[in-house]
Amino acid sequence: MRNLFLLVLSAALTAAPYEGKVVSSDTEKGALTLLNAKGVTQVMQVSEADSRLGWTGKQVRGDLIESEGKLRLETIFPADPEQLRQVAEVTDALRRETADRGRDIRSTGDLAPAFLLWDQSAKLVSSSSLRGKPYLLNFIFTRCRSAQMCPAATAAMAGLSKSLHDAGLADKVQLISITFDPAYDSPGVLRAYAESRSTDLVNHRLLTGDKQQIRDLMTQFGITTIQADGTIVHNAATLLMNAEGRIQLRLDGPRFNSEDLMPILRKELQTK
């Protein structure tokens, strides 16, 4: 009987793919009202971050979970057909480029590979849109259990953000963190993660999106991961790109000293 109960409970919590247009958002109740392809309107519970994300009027997809007669939508991503077409185009080009490069990792002087991903506000960010300002890029994931890895990398970025603000340079340098766990790290999850760590989202953007595109970016930047003990084990690096999008510096490991980096950034800004 107990095994039967567990089986029923597991079935009730199974996630199913869902797509629909957001009609309205209720931040107080943490809910979205969506219209599906059959013209049926449904109210679904969402995370607090997703309720504030500005999904109203947008086509979205996610994982629908039904439990005790209540609907919950998780892992919400944009599903606008034109955006998805653009993302697929960039993903396909990057896939071919990565295959052609083989094991060749991008190094100092190389252009950063092209990408098109969504940020913590569900806005598309392209690599070309970042040009014109230097930017630092690293890879993290929100469920990282090691305090010495992703949390340390996020703290290092926060420290640099503060140094840039103190120097009056916050609008001159961009900070970019790409998740290598896009199956879980949706825009709403990234937003909640950033807010829980008091991340300054004015100049620090967290990106997520197509799994294959992110996998190829990691390959080209020499970021490796393996699944072990129910988590993702990985190496870490922070890369500095100049205003043209070329790699100027690679700092291996999750941590870096912002005070050591500031003179390099000042010099980069002077030569821009």
Do 149 and 262 belong together in one domain?
yes
Domain end (from 78, 99, 116): 78
Do 73 and 139 belong together in one domain?
no
Do 64 and 124 belong together in one domain?
no
Do 19 and 144 belong together in one domain?
no
Do 96 and 124 belong together in one domain?
yes
The model's pLDDT over 82-128, given as tens digits with 9 standing for 90+, comes to 999 999 999 999 999 999 999 899 999 999 999 999 999 999 999 99
| Domain count across the chain | 2
pLDDT value of position 14 = 81
CA 149 to chain centre: 17
Do 40 and 117 belong together in one domain?
no
Do 64 and 91 belong together in one domain?
no
pLDDT value of position 234 = 85
Do 13 and 105 belong together in one domain?
no
Consecutive H or E run containing 97: helix 81-101
Q: What is the DSSP string of 55-76?
A: -TT-EEEEEEEEETTEEEEEEE
Domain end (from 34, 57, 78): 78
Range of the domain at 31: 2-78
Q: Domain of 42: which CATH number?
A: 2.40.50.140
Residue 74, number of CB atoms within 10 A of its CB: 19
Domain end (from 78, 102, 136): 78
Do 69 and 203 belong together in one domain?
no
Q: What is the pTM of this model?
A: 0.92
The model's pLDDT over 195-227, given as tens digits with 9 standing for 90+, comes to 999 899 989 999 999 999 999 999 999 999 888
Q: Degrees (nearest 5) of the Cα angle 238, 256, 268?
A: 65
Do 69 and 174 belong together in one domain?
no
The answer on pLDDT for 6 being more than 80 is no
The model's pLDDT over 31-72, given as tens digits with 9 standing for 90+, comes to 999 999 999 999 999 999 999 999 999 999 999 999 888 999
Q: Domain of 113: which CATH number?
A: 3.40.30.10
Do 42 and 164 belong together in one domain?
no
Do 216 and 201 belong together in one domain?
yes
Kindly report the length of the chain: 272
